[in-house]
């Protein structure tokens, strides 16, 4: 690469809590250390009056600046606020609110100003981390990095994958391919032992990270990877073990000093952050110490904890992981004896007890742990990157990568029924065509709603997008033939085409999911102007203002006729009733329409004005 000015493609594991980057160099994968010398970087971004910090620097000041330190935001990608509101309540000190389209919006104060950011947009999190990762790689390689393979959880849907690609573009990276995390881990181990036997190899990937736990069962056959089943818990990981230790030390501090810090957020944060180190140490030693100066009220805290005590504090959580392994096997309809390899992924699988329980479950089987568990995914991504860029040696060249669709894809047919076009777990890339027809006589347009999910009714699934095919020649129902084609590219991104047979009229779209996706133009704009969120702020503000204005107006009407004696005395019974009914109607409407658009609030306000003004005019003039 030297002299060309362009670095080889890199592999990035953008984790919920830590990010790791690898590159193929000198015929092997090199995991790249950051400027602090760490091989993984906290997926953490913080905002201050003057600066933005990323990685270790952000994490180090988290206890001091909790409300402006964003971490774990990967759980927000492509999700609706309702789906993650349980997380907002319990685990995050930074503010997350519902935004347009029920998208979660992160609220932080940056340079003294309140900023609202959608989770996937450039500023708060996703792209900033990718930019940082790119810089880490460039510092190591001494040249510009342009191409990358980025990993995502196996259950990430089409839109979440697209969001990941978009974030890459904003960061100035061409995302050559999105690869599932368990697939990447399997690639990391699959290099030397290609599965060639009939029926392939069944591999269980056990990924216990910082905030999430994922089990995936893969079948690897002739170099292709297929996900048979996944299970897990988005709320189980290393941070829970830190929390258990935290509670233990809070009790101890209380006993020793007769001071209860359980309601003291600052002290708690300080202690929680400090717990991660002894936890890590206990994976290698049987006793660890903790030392915090001035934990609370000038009192220092020095203590020790044994590995046995730590295991005791977390045993139920460890057991839960094993339960989920059982569930994954059950879902795949597979006996544990049919599993050929068990791969450890995620920093928390360094915990000896976790390894032991898992090994016992598999009747003493040797676990694959020769690659550092928190680096295995980035390792596999780096291997994939070199394959795709056509470099590297024969060792990697003949590994074919095949991923599968995590959920079924289809469209809505009569009666709100889901008609599956591409079933779950279909190998990608793929293309499938189905024939449909009109359901009414002389129907000239069909609305195509594309859904993702396993429900038989579309109402149980999630809507990815919709479009209309018009210009169908009038004919009795059931006569026109519509060919609908779903195609998914190597990145798992979906295109849907609908064609009417007789006229050849065609409509083709790449599904834009629930405004989660960004258009090329939008991305370009964001690259040039990372202040893009301002437009959304304005939209949001306009809506809030319109709603408030309507509420105020309704209450002003109500209060005037109740408390303004002069007006009340001149009001006829009929007019009074008219006003009361109108106000009541609007307040009821508001109850059910909190998320309406600005113009709907404005319309409702106009309706009130039309009633209010003539009555007031009568009173004042008469
Ligand atoms: P992610 O969840 O982002 O994929 P990782 O796989 O890097 O992250 O896992 C991070 C978690 O692993 C953190 O909670 C960290 O404390 C934990 N961890 C890292 N090293 C060890 C260790 N030696 N012992 C126990 N836990 C560890
Ligand atoms: Mg991970």
> What pLDDT, on a 0 to 100 scale, did the predictor assign at position 310?
97
Assess whether the C-beta atom of 278 lies below 6 angstroms from ligand 1. Answer: no
How far away, in angstroms, is 232 Cα from ligand 2 center? 13
Q: Average per-residue pLDDT in the chain?
A: 85
Nearest Cα to Cα of residue 11 among 200, 111, 145: 145
> What pLDDT, on a 0 to 100 scale, did the predictor assign at position 429?
79
How far away, in angstroms, is 263 Cα from ligand 2 center? 32
- Report the percent of the chain where pLDDT is more than 70: 88
> Phi/psi at 130 (nearest 5 deg)?
-65, -35
Q: Which two tokens stand for residue 295?
A: 């934990």
Give the residue whose CA is nearest to atom 22 of ligand 1: 280
Q: Which atom of ligand 1 is nearest to the CA of 283?
A: 24
Are the beta carbons of 439 and 476 closer than 8 angstroms? no
Q: Which atom of ligand 1 is nearest to the CA of 15?
A: 3
> What pLDDT, on a 0 to 100 scale, did the predictor assign at position 280?
96
Confidence label for 48 from pLDDT (cuts 50, 70 and 90): confident
How far away, in angstroms, is 172 Cα from ligand 1 center? 28
How far away, in angstroms, is 44 Cα from ligand 1 center? 14
Assess whether the C-beta atom of 41 lies below 6 angstroms from ligand 1. Answer: no
- Higher pLDDT pick, 356 / 452: 356
Confidence label for 397 from pLDDT (cuts 50, 70 and 90): very low
Tens digit of pLDDT for each residue in 357-369? 999 999 999 999 9
Tens digit of pLDDT for each residue in 157-208? 888 888 888 889 888 999 999 999 999 999 998 733 555 566 788 999 999 9
Ligand 1, from 374, 375, 376, 377: best to mutate by most atoms within 8 Å of Cβ? 374
Confidence label for 1 from pLDDT (cuts 50, 70 and 90): very low
Q: Which two tokens stand for residue 271?
A: 């202690």
Tens digit of pLDDT for each residue in 491-549? 667 889 999 888 888 887 776 433 333 455 554 554 554 344 445 556 666 777 788 88
Q: In this structure, which residues have their CB less than 5 angstroms from ion ligand 2? A: 15, 209
For residue 141, CA distances in Å to 4, 6, 19, 527 come to 12, 9, 18, 24
Say if residue 145 is preceded by a cis peptide, omega within 30 of 0. Answer: no
Are the beta carbons of 407 and 454 closer than 8 angstroms? yes
Q: Spell out the SS3 assignment of 400-437.
A: CCCEECCCCEEEEECCCEEEEEECCCCEECEEEEEEEE
What's the average model confidence in pLDDT over 140-152? Answer: 95
HSE-CB of 552 using CA atoms within 13 angstroms? 7
Nearest Cα to Cα of residue 228 among 69, 365, 87, 340: 340
- Higher pLDDT pick, 377 / 494: 377
Out of 288-297, 356-365, 472-481, 503-512, least confident range: 503-512
Q: Which residues have CB under 8 Å from 503's CB, separation 6+?
A: 471, 472, 473
Whether residue 56 is predicted with pLDDT greater than 90 in this model: the reply is: yes
Q: Which two tokens stand for residue 378?
A: 């980035």
Give the residue whose CA is nearest to atom 12 of ligand 1: 347
pTM confidence score: 0.69
* Active site amino acids: 13, 74, 181, 207
- Higher pLDDT pick, 480 / 283: 283
> What pLDDT, on a 0 to 100 scale, did the predictor assign at position 520?
54
- Number of the ligand closest to the Cα of 283: 1
> What pLDDT, on a 0 to 100 scale, did the predictor assign at position 308?
95
> What pLDDT, on a 0 to 100 scale, did the predictor assign at position 533?
44
Assess whether the C-beta atom of 209 lies below 6 angstroms from ligand 1. Answer: yes
Assess whether the C-beta atom of 16 lies below 6 angstroms from ligand 1. Answer: yes
Tens digit of pLDDT for each residue in 543-583? 777 888 898 889 888 888 888 888 888 899 999 999 999 99
> What pLDDT, on a 0 to 100 scale, did the predictor assign at position 522?
53
Q: Which residues have CB under 8 Å from 561's CB, separation 6+?
A: 567, 568, 571, 576, 579, 580
d(CA 327, CA 363): 17
Ligand 1, from 238, 284, 354, 355: best to mutate by most atoms within 8 Å of Cβ? 238
* DSSP reduced 3-state for 492: coil
What's the average model confidence in pLDDT over 274-285? Answer: 95
Assess whether the C-beta atom of 40 lies below 6 angstroms from ligand 1. Answer: yes
Give the residue whose CA is nearest to atom 20 of ligand 1: 347
> What pLDDT, on a 0 to 100 scale, did the predictor assign at position 537?
55
Confidence label for 89 from pLDDT (cuts 50, 70 and 90): low
> What pLDDT, on a 0 to 100 scale, did the predictor assign at position 191?
39
- Report the percent of the chain where pLDDT is more than 90: 47
Assess whether the C-beta atom of 314 lies below 6 angstroms from ligand 1. Answer: no
End-to-end CA distance of the chain: 89
- Helix, strand, coil tally for the chain in percent (to 5): 40, 25, 30
Give the residue whose CA is nearest to atom 23 of ligand 1: 280
Assess whether the C-beta atom of 153 lies below 6 angstroms from ligand 1. Answer: no
- The contacts found for 450-454 with CB under 8 angstroms, 24 or more apart, are 450/409, 450/410, 450/411, 450/486, 450/494, 450/496, 450/511, 451/409, 451/410, 451/411, 451/412, 451/418, 452/157, 452/158, 452/407, 452/408, 452/409, 453/407, 453/408, 453/418, 454/407, 454/408, 454/424
């Amino acid at each position: 690469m030297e002299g060309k000015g362009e670095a080889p493609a890199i592999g990035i594991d953008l984790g919920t809590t830590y990010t790791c980057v690898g590159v193929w160099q000198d015929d092997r994968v090199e995991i790249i250390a950051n400027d602090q010398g760490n091989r993984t970087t906290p997926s953490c971004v913080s905002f201050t009056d003057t600066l933005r910090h990323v990685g270790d620097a952000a994490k180090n000041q988290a206890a001091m600046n909790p409300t402006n330190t964003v971490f774990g935001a990967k759980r927000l990608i492509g999700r609706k606020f309702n789906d993650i509101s349980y997380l907002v309540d319990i685990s995050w000190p930074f503010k997350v609110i519902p935004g347009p389209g029920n998208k979660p919006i992160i609220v932080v104060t940056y340079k003294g100003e309140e900023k609202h950011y959608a989770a996937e947009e450039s500023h708060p999190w996703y792209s900033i981390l990718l930019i940082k990762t790119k810089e880490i790689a460039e510092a190591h390689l001494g040249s510009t990095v342009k191409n990358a393979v980025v990993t995502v959880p196996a259950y990430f849907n089409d839109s979440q994958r697209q969001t990941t690609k978009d974030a890459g573009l904003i960061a100035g990276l061409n995302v050559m391919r999105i690869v599932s995390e368990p697939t990447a881990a399997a690639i990391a181990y699959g290099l030397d032992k290609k599965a060639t036997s009939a029926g392939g190899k069944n591999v269980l990937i056990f990924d216990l990270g910082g905030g999430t736990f994922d089990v995936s069962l893969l079948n690897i056959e002739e170099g292709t990877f297929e996900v048979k089943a996944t299970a897990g818990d988005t709320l189980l990981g290393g941070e829970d073990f830190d929390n258990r230790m935290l509670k233990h030390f809070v009790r101890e501090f209380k006993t020793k000093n007769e001071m209860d810090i359980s309601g003291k957020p600052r002290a708690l944060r300080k202690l929680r952050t400090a717990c991660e180190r002894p936890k890590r140490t206990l994976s290698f030693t049987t006793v660890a110490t903790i030392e915090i100066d001035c934990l609370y009220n000038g009192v220092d805290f020095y203590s020790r904890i044994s590995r046995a005590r730590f295991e005791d504090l977390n045993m139920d959580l460890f057991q839960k992981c094993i339960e989920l392994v059982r569930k994954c096997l059950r879902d795949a309809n597979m006996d544990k004896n049919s599993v050929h390899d068990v791969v450890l992924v995620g920093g928390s699988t360094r915990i000896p007890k976790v390894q032991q329980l898992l090994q016992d479950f598999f009747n003493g089987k040797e676990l694959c742990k020769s690659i550092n568990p928190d680096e295995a995914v980035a390792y596999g991504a780096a291997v994939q990157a070199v394959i795709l860029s056509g470099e590297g040696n024969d060792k990697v060249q003949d590994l074919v990568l095949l991923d599968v669709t995590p959920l079924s894809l289809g469209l809505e047919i009569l009666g709100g029924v889901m008609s599956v076009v591409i079933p779950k777990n279909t190998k990608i890339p793929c293309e499938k065509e189905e024939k449909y027809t009109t359901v009414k006589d002389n129907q000239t347009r069909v609305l195509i709603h594309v859904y993702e999910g396993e429900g038989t009714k579309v109402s149980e699934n999630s809507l990815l997008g919709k479009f209309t095919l018009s210009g169908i020649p009038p004919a009795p129902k059931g006569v026109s033939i519509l060919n609908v084609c779903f195609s998914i590219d190597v990145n798992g991104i979906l295109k849907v085409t609908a064609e009417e047979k007789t006229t050849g009229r065609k409509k083709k779209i790449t599904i834009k999911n629930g405004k989660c996706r960004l258009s090329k133009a939008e991305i370009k704009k964001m690259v040039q102007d990372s202040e893009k969120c301002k437009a959304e702020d304005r939209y949001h503000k306009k809506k809030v203002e319109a709603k408030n204005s309507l509420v105020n107006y309704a209450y002003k009407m109500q209060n005037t006729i109740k408390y303004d004696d002069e007006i009340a005395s001149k009001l006829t019974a009929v007019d009074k009733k008219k006003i009361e009914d109108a106000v009541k109607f609007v307040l009821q409407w508001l109850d059910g329409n909190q998320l309406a658009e600005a113009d709907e609030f404005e319309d409702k306000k106009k309706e009130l004005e039309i009633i209010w003004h003539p009555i007031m005019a009568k009173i004042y003039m008469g």
